[in-house]
Chains A and B, each alone.
Chain A
Amino acid sequence: MDRRAALKKTAMAAGSAALVPSLFSLLQSCQKKPRLSWEPIFLTVNQAELISTLVDTVLPKTETPGALDMKVDLFIDVVFAKLFNKTAQQTMIAQMEQFNTTCEEKFGSIFSELSVQDREEFLKEEESASGKYNGKVWGTAVGEQKPVGFYRTIKSLALWGYFSSEEIGKNVLNYDPIPGEYLGCIPLSDVGKTCSL
């Protein structure tokens, strides 16, 4: 099977399911906000704006680059398109809509249009409401993993996209591709940062 065609097909099918509820807000947002500087392959522009604002709030630019500098929002768009199966894509879209609906009920507008203060206020609530990941042993969760909320999923994807990027991995964190030895107990001050690999 042609993988690319198949992916496109699932992405389109999933996209059309969400077309109706998102169209209105999409048109609305077009009128007052600058368009995205990138073209999503899976998300609608409105959804992409939500993801961009979310990852920017979680990992803002400081002395070190922020999530948007590392194009984490583009990465998440690709993850939805290529790593999520159709069911997961549909769930994600429904959750995104729900996230914005809740946001509107509480703060009067969708997430991407809130003030920075209101965004942070809303995310504080989401932090406690969004569930947690179980611990892992050798790559597998221990115990029965209950589904986590939309915010926790996006936060986790944002961390993955950000910290697995070349700039952060090579130039910000401690990059040591061939350690050559194992020293079991060294002062943290010798390296300072966490290892990227």
Chain B
Amino acid sequence: MANYNIDAKKNMTYDAIVIGSGISGGWAAKELCEGGLKTLVLERGRIVEHVVDYPTMNKDPWDLELRGALGPEDLKKHAIGARAGFVGANNEHFYANDEENPYTEVKPFLWVRGHQMGGRSLLWGKQCYRWSDLDFEANAKDGHGVDWPLRYKDVESWYTYVEKFAGISGQALGLPQLPDSHFLPPMELNCVEKDIKSRIEKEFPGRVMTIGRAAHLTEPLNGRGQCQFRNRCDRGCPYGAYFSSNAVTLPAANVTGNLTIRPYSIVNSIIYDDKKGKATGVRIIDAETNEYIEFYAKIIFCNASSLSTTQILLNSTSDRFENGLGNDSGELGHNLMDHTYRVGAMGRVEGYEDKYYKGRRPNGIYIPRYVNIDEETKTDKFVRGFGYQGGGGRGNWSAGANQEQFGADFKDSLMKPGPWEFFITGFAECLPYHENKVMLDKENVDKWGQPTLAIDCEFKENEKAINRQIKSDAVEMLEKAGVKDIVGFDNEHEPGYGIHEMGTARMGRDPRTSILNGTNQIHAAKNVFVTDGACMTSSSCVNPSLTYMALTARAANHAISELKKKNL
């Protein structure tokens, strides 16, 4: 593994600057470097080199202090990460320090961040689904939000392009609402999942259940190893089996010799030259020395993550852009979306007591959207739709806490796998509401003196109506599938729990109502590209990361071609 060039001091001027090194930033860096551009990646956190910087990747529970649990001090440091439910001693080093990075919740909003090279690509759920024209046409058809300036045909070849390099495993189904990816072999369903799949598909024509489509290699690819089914992904994968910037895109960018990555570089603002009518560079604060430094480039890619990108744009003011770079429309910061989460049903499955499985599969099942996909499936209760993720497995000893038993027989019984359990949880599309927004909070500055964000966002009636159906359909499907002791649930989480923040610098056809054009360029500053979640015009109900990858690769190649034509 080659070391990274982190010495940006040698050179203050580059062809391209990429802000952020997560899923979309990694792709931007790879494409721009491979396109021959000298590229500087600015990362606000530390360097995390693949494998070398994965300290817990091989640790068993007894190897970790306090068996992997976090004490009150660590929990204070990770108050937001802990609220999300995923942070522990095994992965806390990949979660941002929430005490040092405050934000204001005007209404409750969970903002989970990963401040290191690779960002949240080290922590993500890895579910990868193509969007379809059902998604890209949704705003135009029902009038919520503005129209996407592109359609599936514009992104299709870019989906294929990124999938071939990232490696997506899954099962082709030929569904129009969920186009198939270029797939590696699918992971296997277990016996209970197969049983429930056949029952649901028989009882509910039009509904299908499939193995999750996920950025896990099921066969080796480009020198990366295949998944070993340890399910320790969020510690960093020693085999490089799941897609992360650290394992996949940044090493590819690095071998070109065109990459410089500068750690501890908090972007303060993008420098805009009123006379030239374009951005000329980026102003950073060194997180360790508090020194302000400027770097210059012909093009700038914003990939800091949805809300951080918008925070930077809002803070990038000039005579031309008093309210933030590219904010002629007044839409910068607005139309924030996420997916609803933790609403569904769970229960116990009988009949496979003598069956088990080998391996810990880092993937579950998926039930694609089946409502509002055509005239026949149209509902008058809400617009848009939802899909389910979930899975089946056998409980372990932890189920013993609730069992009304103790003593010798009880202890021995816990050595065997517990009952089979199965759950599904829905992800609902959320509409882009102008009033769901982020604002720069100049009263509250962080330890580097930078204005923080105030987030004012809530789910509204359409999302709640979808959630009601998610829960009742989930219970009904599990009942018909013969699941026992069914519990329907809706945790009524605030937005942010899905960790799918989207919008706040949306793409659109009209500069009067959007920030970005159809190739992710700021309408009024065409050498600035935004290709992370901030660019999203609607939210679909499927996971967004694959679309960020495709849009980024597409925009980066457009940028290279425009540079060659001297249009930027």
Interface residues, chain A, with chain B CB atoms under 8 Å away: 1, 3, 6-7, 57-60, 62, 64, 66, 78-79, 82-85, 120, 123, 127-128, 132-133, 135, 137-140, 142-143, 152, 155-156, 159-166, 169-170, 172-173, 176-195, 197
Contact = CB atoms under 8 A, between A and B. Distances in A.
Contacts of B207: none
Contact of B423 (A137, A164, A173): A137
A60 B408 contact: yes
Nearest to A140: B85
B410 interface: yes
9 contacts: A78-B66, A138-B425, A169-B61, A177-B230, A182-B229, A184-B189, A184-B191, A184-B357, A194-B416
B418 to A, nearest CB: 7
A195 B408 CA distance: 20
B225 to A, nearest CB: 10
Given A188-B354, A191-B358, A182 B66 contact: no
Given A83-B66, A179-B228, A142 B487 contact: yes
Interface stretch (B116-124, B271-279, B391-399): B391-399
Given A184-B191, A194-B394, A133 B402 contact: yes
B417 interface: yes
Contacts of B68: 164
Contacts of A127: 404-406
Contact of A169 (B62, B73, B402): B62
**Interface residue range, chain B:** 35 or more
Given A57-B406, A85-B72, A140-B342, A189 B354 contact: yes
A62 B487 contact: no
Q: Which residue among B58, B68, B190, B400 has the maximum number of chain A CB atoms within 10 Å of its CB?
A: B400
B142 to A, nearest CB: 31
Interface string B63-100: 00011111111000000000001100000000000000
B361 interface: yes
Of residues B228, B406, B417, B418, which shows the largest number of chain A Cβ atoms within 10 Å of its Cβ?
Answer: B406
A1 to B, nearest CB: 8
Interface string B176-193: 000000000001111101
B412 A64 contact: yes
B359 A180 contact: yes
Contact of A159 (B85, B228, B414): B414
Contacts of B411: 58-60, 62, 64, 66
Given A133-B401, A159-B397, A163-B397, A179 B230 contact: yes
B489 A180 contact: no
Given A139-B85, A170-B60, 12 more contacts: A1-B73, A60-B408, A128-B404, A135-B421, A152-B402, A163-B396, A166-B60, A166-B62, A177-B60, A186-B355, A189-B354, A197-B60
Contact of A142 (B60, B86, B418, B491): B491
Contact of A135 (B86, B346, B356, B397): B346
Given A133-B402, A155-B401, A194-B397, A6 B357 contact: no
Contacts of A1: 73
A187 B354 contact: yes
A176 B358 contact: yes
Contact of B229 (A169, A181, A190): A181
Contacts of A189: 354
B408 A62 contact: yes
Contacts of B402: 132-133, 152
B503 to A, nearest CB: 24
Most B CB contacts (10 A, CB to CB) among A142, A170, A188, A193 go to A142
B194 interface: yes
B344 interface: yes
B73 A143 contact: no
A128 B411 CA distance: 18
Given A58-B410, A142-B491, A184 B416 contact: no
B357 A182 contact: yes
Contacts of A183: 188, 357-359
B229 A62 contact: no
A140 B491 contact: yes
A188 B72 CA distance: 40
